[in-house]
Amino acid sequence: MFQYINIFNKRLIHNNITLKAKVKAHQLPPRVRWDPKLECEIEEKFLYGGSGAGGQAINRTASKVQLKHIPTGIVVVNQFSRSQKDNRKKAREILMEKIESLRNSNGKGNGMGMSDRALAVYNLKKQKKLNRERGAAKKYKKIDEERAELKEKKLEQEKLMIMKLTGKLE
Amino acid sequence: MRISYRMIQKARLINPLLPYMLPQCRNLQDAKQELIWLEKHFKNQNIQLAKAVIERFKGKPLQYILKNQPFGEDLTINCRPNVLIPRWETDEFCHFINTKIFQNYQSQDINKKINIVDLCSGSGCISLSIKESNTMFNVFGVDISDSCINLANENKKINSLEDVEFIKGDILNPDLKLLNKLIASSAEKKIDMIISNPPYILHSFLPYLNTSVKKYEPSLALFGNLEFYENFVKIWSKYCDSFFYELGEIEQFEYINSNLDPKVWAVLKWSDSNDKIRGVYGYRKHSQIAKMFDTCK
């Protein structure tokens, strides 16, 4: 009886923890979007890689877009697409994320140094990892127990064999 | 400069195809990025991918292998041999023209349909990107090469744009038929703006050119000194109200600046975000279109 209650208590606590940390993928806070008002606070540059002749003389396939947010001094460099427009858009998204994380650090906002969405995604990943580990621990516990049983059985059999051979009890 | 053996080894450890990208890209980061684009294009086609990588190793431009280049807001420009590949600087100055100059078109109450002529249109990238962001304008492209006109028309069809006309004609010696055609649509018998990316690399610069440019791209679209700028001052400036020319050397800017009448014309420099002079633009001071330039200074 006592044992049963103990297990029941454990379960309750366990459930409570999972309920608290539960985040679903479709319930995440909205993505951080670029604010057009910030357009006047940034300095945009296209880095063609080094000085010297550009233009028709060199056929560059990739060009970096560099954004500098003047009030905070954050610099973002991006080069992932062949399209200048996509690069500029992506760089703005990254910069916005960084500005948002600065707003949430030093005891302001959520105080974790991340935007709300990034924090939620981080929690989700953490929870998934934890669940995976817990599952794995359960599985391997079972297997280990079975192995231990097998080992014991083998030992007993060996003992019996020795007894039969020697005709003595140890 | 030679690529160090250590860099080649490092690249080989990441991907066995990566060392072949190094001679053209010169550094590991760009090489990785280009290989990613190639892998995206040749999905699950390993033999074609390997062939493409070897072609790139020999110096073939990436845009000719992938057969297109994104440009402007949402355009894809097809690229083929015999036509110059659109450059980043061209993209940047198109963005400048669209956002800084033509943005003022509606706010300044200019009550006329603007017609724009793109000289040396090539693949048609400039005319198409202007048409894309200003659907109200009349846009013409002029080029001397047949393959350029064909490709430009193809690009127009791909991006489903209409009312852009590409005309074959000699820009250095324009005949009356061509000029009349360009002027006909406007009431004042003038071209409102000439935009051009003429060949501007000096012949003396040939030994220093990259192999991918030297071997694969048309020399007709690359080499020239002052021909097109002289030609603009002597012929085209009579027919237009404003202009934007891309350039490579500061002499070309000075030629235009000194040879246009300063009482009539205002001439300005345009430099890219790396503070390098890349263009010259100007307008007639007393024309209607000058309003658009006044606010962008």
Identify whether A148 is part of a domain.
yes
Domain end marker among A103, A123, A154: A103
Torsion angle, CA of B99/B102/B103/B109, rounded to 10 degrees? 170
Q: Across chain B, what does the average pLDDT equal?
A: 90
pLDDT, average across residues B249-268: 92
Percent of chain A with pLDDT over 90: 29
User: pLDDT per residue over A116-135, tens digit each?
Assistant: 888 888 888 999 999 999 99
A44 with A94, same domain? yes
CB of B294 within 8 Å of any CB in chain A? Answer: no
Nearest Cα to B216, choosing from B75, B20, B1, B24?
A: B24
Identify whether A98 is part of a domain.
yes
Q: Does A111 have pLDDT greater than 90?
A: no
- Tell me what pLDDT residue A18 has: 45
Provide the residue count of chain B: 297
Give me the domain span that covers residue A149. Answer: 115-170
CB of B165 within 8 Å of any CB in chain A? Answer: no
* Radius of gyration of chain B from its Cα atoms, rounded to whole angstroms: 21
Identify whether A27 is part of a domain.
no
pLDDT, average across residues B264-279: 88
User: pLDDT per residue over B81-92, tens digit each?
Assistant: 999 999 888 988
A168 with A133, same domain? yes
Identify whether A108 is part of a domain.
no
Cβ under 8 Å to A: B residues 6-35? 25, 29-30, 33-34
A66 with A119, same domain? no
Q: Does A20 have pLDDT greater than 50?
A: no
ipTM summary value: 0.79
CB of B209 within 8 Å of any CB in chain A? Answer: yes
User: pLDDT per residue over B103-128, tens digit each?
Assistant: 888 777 777 788 899 999 999 999 99
Identify whether A147 is part of a domain.
yes
Q: Does A15 have pLDDT greater than 50?
A: no
CA distance A74 to A42: 10
Identify whether A29 is part of a domain.
no
Best of A47, A51, A56 to disrupt the B interface (most B CBs within 10 Å) is A56
Are the Cβ atoms of A62 and B34 closer than 8 angstroms? yes
User: pLDDT per residue over B166-206, tens digit each?
Assistant: 999 999 999 999 999 888 888 788 899 999 999 999 999 88
- Tell me what pLDDT residue B195 has: 94
- When divided into structural domains, chain A yields a total of 2
A60 with A98, same domain? yes
A128 with A168, same domain? yes
CA distance A59 to B213: 7
- Tell me what pLDDT residue A44 has: 86
- Residue B23 burial (CB < 10 Å; 0-12/13-18/19+)? middle
Q: Which CATH number fits domain B72-294: 1.10.357.10, 3.40.50.150, 3.40.50.1820, 3.30.499.10?
A: 3.40.50.150
User: pLDDT per residue over B230-251, tens digit each?
Assistant: 999 999 999 999 999 998 889 9
Identify whether A11 is part of a domain.
no
Nearest Cα to B96, choosing from B130, B137, B135?
A: B130
User: pLDDT per residue over B56-79, tens digit each?
Assistant: 999 999 999 999 999 988 899 999
- Tell me what pLDDT residue B296 has: 58
Strand partners, B191: B240
Q: Where are the domains of chain B?
A: 5-58, 72-294
Identify whether A43 is part of a domain.
yes
